Amino acid sequence: MAVSRSVRRGLAAFAVLVTLPALTTPAGAQEPTEHGASGAAAHRESGQLARSGATSAATRLAMPGENRQIGRQDGYPRQTSLREFPENPDDKAIKLGLTPYHDIAPQLNELQERSDRVSAEVVGQSTQGRDLYLVTLTAPESPAEASRQARWRELIEEDPAAAAGNERLAREYKAPVWINANIHGDEWEGTDGALDVIERLATGTDPAHAELLESTRLYLTVTNNPDGRVAGTRANAAGFDINRDHITSSQPESRAVRDVLIETQPLVMLDEHGYTGTTLIEPGTPPHGRDYEYDLYIKHAYENALGMERAIGKLGYDETVRADIPFRDFEPGEWDDWPPIFTPMYSIHHGTVGHTVEVPLRVNRSEYEELPVEELRRRSAINRDVVAATITSAVDYADSHRAELIDDQIETFRRGWAGEPQREIPDGYVPGLGEEDRYSVEFPRAYVIPAGDGQRSAPAAARLVDHLVAHDVRVTRAEHTFHLGGERYPKGSYVVDMHQPKRGLANVMLSAGQDISGNVPRMYDISGWSLGLLWGVTVDVSADEAPAVRTSPVVTAGTTGSLPPSPNADLELALTDGADVQAVTYLLERGVEVTRGDDGVLVVPASARREAATAADRFGVVFTRAGKDAAGTELAAPVIAAAVSAGELAVLRGLGFEVRPVSTAVLNDGFDFDGVSALLVSTGLDHDALTAEAKRRLRAFLDDGGVVTRGAGGAAFNEAAGLLPVTAVEGRPDANGVVSVTDGDGGLLDRAPAQSFVYSPVWFTGLGESVAAEQRYARDPLVAGHWLPGEDVGGPAEAAGEASVVSGVSAAGTRAVLFGTEPMFRDHPKGLYAQVADAVFWAAS
Catalytic residues: 411
CA-atom Rg of the chain in angstroms? 27
d(CA 350, CA 261): 8
Cα 183 to the chain's mean position, in Å?
13
What string of DSSP letters covers 496-508?
EES-STTHHHHHH
Say which DSSP state 334 is in.
Answer: S
679-709 burial, b if ≥16 CB within 10 A, otherwise e? bbbbbbbbbeebeeebbebbeebbeebbbbb
Residues constituting the chain:
845
SS3 365: helix
Helix (H) or strand (E) run with residue 155 in it: helix 143-158
What string of DSSP letters covers 185-231?
TT-THHHHHHHHHHHHHHH---HHHHHHHHHEEEEEES-S-HHHHHH
d(CA 517, CA 242): 26
Q: How far is CA 486 from CA 482, 538, 540, 543, in A?
A: 10, 16, 12, 13
Q: Which amino acid is at 829?
A: P
Dmax of the chain from CA atoms?
A: 83
d(CA 639, CA 674): 10
To the nearest 10 degrees (0 to 180), the angle between helices 294-313 and 402-418 is: 160
Do 757 and 819 form a contact (C-beta atoms < 8 A)? no
CA dihedral of 579, 583, 586, 587, whole degrees rounded to 10? -170
Do 138 and 216 form a contact (C-beta atoms < 8 A)? yes
What string of DSSP letters covers 647-677?
HHHHHHHHTT-EEEE--HHHHHTT---TT--
Do 717 and 810 form a contact (C-beta atoms < 8 A)? no
d(CA 152, CA 144): 12
What string of DSSP letters covers 564-600?
-S-TTS-EEE---SHHHHHHHHHHHHTT---EE-TTS
Query: Strand 633-634's sheet: what is its strand order?
Result: 624-625, 571-573, 602-604, 595-596, 633-634
830: CB partners within 8 A, 6+ apart: 49, 52, 460, 463, 534, 535, 536, 577, 578
CA dihedral of 825, 831, 832, 836, whole degrees rounded to 10? 110
- Beta bridge partners, 743, equal 775
